[in-house]
Structure 1
Amino acid sequence: MQHNDIWRAIDALAAENGLSASGLARRSGLDPTAFNPSKRTGPDGRARWPSTESVAKVLAATSTGMDEFASLITGNLRTASRPSRRIPLIGLAQAGSSGYFDDGGYPVGGGWDEISLPEVGDPNAYALEISGDSMEPVFRDGDVIIVSPSAPVRRGDRVVVRTSGGEVMAKELLRQSAKRVELSSLNPAHPNYSFDLEELTWMHRIVWASQ
């Protein structure tokens, strides 16, 4: 068993409950950043294990038994209780083009590929493949994120937004008022954004990432 096996199991458990890794930490009564990629390695670059207390809190918060969690670690998933399905997939760079989403931000059209990923409970969930380094260090080139149009969006969530001009970007929601939305860039080298609500076509929460 390796470090990545444990972290992958935690990510899968988050996805099965319709949560991001930070959302799972928050539900478990932990610091929202407890499961961030930056916390998975130490300052010296050596891989870190999640604490047994953190794992215990996660299992309690999701009503998951040790046998089920062990199956996520080993990859020997019981298909009756851990289903997966084919989810529409396109590259993030393609998402701004016309023909991939309807007016509500739901995936449409025949240009999507498909990928088999953990069930997230939203029949309209879709996947985007990250390209380039604009989302680092949170999401890296080649990572796949699952986005849920029906998941509630709260402050601190990582989201995908589409502007009225057709630009699609992954950001963190800083705050939302009755008139404006403020977004933080995932890559500190890029600026933050502030939009009037009418400037955004939709905003969907990222619930899982293949990191």
Structure 2
Amino acid sequence: MLKHSDIWAAIDALARDNGLTASALARKAGLDPTTFNKSKRITREGKARWPSTESVAKVLDATGANLSRFLGYIENDGQTTRPAPTIPLIGFAQAGDRGFFDDAGYPLGGGWDEIPFPEIGDPHAYALEISGDSMEPLFRDGDVVIVSPSASVRRGDRVVVRTNEGEVMVKQLARLTARRVELTSINPAHPGRILAAEEVAWLARILWASQ
């Protein structure tokens, strides 16, 4: 039997999985922000107030969810029914292998592990496992950084750089021009690098680190 609490739990779950509060979900759907407030789920007389089919249809449209997914929340007591998103986990040795990336620095194929990670808006994002001590103290051996090949880069960003020779390094971008890429080392014990633009296969911005 469908219960009043099941419907509201499904709405709360839909909001949560879209990074929204119930009020923000209502606003996103073009409804009054108080539509899904807990205080409005019970009338002053103590009777259960059900969300209208119109409001449910609007939130589904606003979030891109379908009715099957909404019903899945109901059947699972408001728990997420989608599997956690994953991204490729690539080691430093793999990053230096030309066969693992296309010319734009996007990972190719599927010969790698995967780790769960929230959606970050770049379908080509991947995780890179740090190897060695050349990036200490900021990044240590075994740390994982999340790399976005499509993110714009600017001076001061930490980046992963791959040369045409297959060398892979994590540096801080000091300057980027049409002719050269100037990099400073994260570990002061290691020198920076200045590369001609034609020496660089690709560079990608680091968005997050697992420290």
TM-score, normalized by length of structure 2? 0.59
Query: How many matched pairs?
Result: 133
In structure 2, the residue corresponding to 1:94 is in which secondary structure?
A: helix
Paired amino acid for 1:123 = P
CA distance in 2 between counterparts of 1:123 and 1:110 reads 14
CA distance in 1 between counterparts of 2:186 and 2:111 reads 28
Q: CA deviation at 1:98?
A: 2.9
Paired amino acid for 2:149 = P
2:174 is aligned to 174
Paired amino acid for 1:149 = P
Distance 1:163 1:85, change over 3 A: same
* Aligned-pair Cα RMSD in Å: 2.0
1:190 is aligned to 190
Distance 1:174 1:89, change over 3 A: same
1:98-137 equivalent positions in 2, closer than 5 A: 98-137=98-137
1:64-75 equivalent positions in 2, closer than 5 A: none
Paired amino acid for 1:166 = G
Q: CA deviation at 1:189?
A: 1.0
Native 8 Å contact 1:91 1:130 kept in 2: yes
1:205 is aligned to 205
2:162 is aligned to 162
CA distance in 1 between counterparts of 2:106 and 2:100 reads 8
CA distance in 2 between counterparts of 1:104 and 1:176 reads 17
Distance 1:84 1:189, change over 3 A: farther
- Once the two structures are aligned, what percentage of the paired residues are identical? 69
Q: CA deviation at 1:196?
A: 0.9
Q: CA deviation at 1:110?
A: 2.5
In structure 2, the residue corresponding to 1:191 is in which secondary structure?
A: coil
CA distance in 1 between counterparts of 2:181 and 2:117 reads 30
Distance 1:184 1:79, change over 3 A: farther
2:147 is aligned to 147
Deviations 1:149-203 (A, max 9, x none): 1100000000001101111111000011221110011111111000111110111
Deviant stretches of 4+, over 4 Å:
none
Native 8 Å contact 1:100 1:112 kept in 2: no
Q: CA deviation at 1:79?
A: 8.1
Distance 1:113 1:199, change over 3 A: same
1:64 is aligned to none
**2:88 maps to 1:88:** yes
* 137-146 or 84-93, which deviates more: 84-93
Deviations 1:96-118 (A, max 9, x none): 02321011110002311100123
CA distance in 1 between counterparts of 2:106 and 2:154 reads 20
Deviations 1:126-153 (A, max 9, x none): 1101122111011111111000011000
* 85-94 or 189-198, which deviates more: 85-94
In structure 1, the residue corresponding to 2:198 is in which secondary structure?
A: helix
Native 8 Å contact 1:84 1:119 kept in 2: no
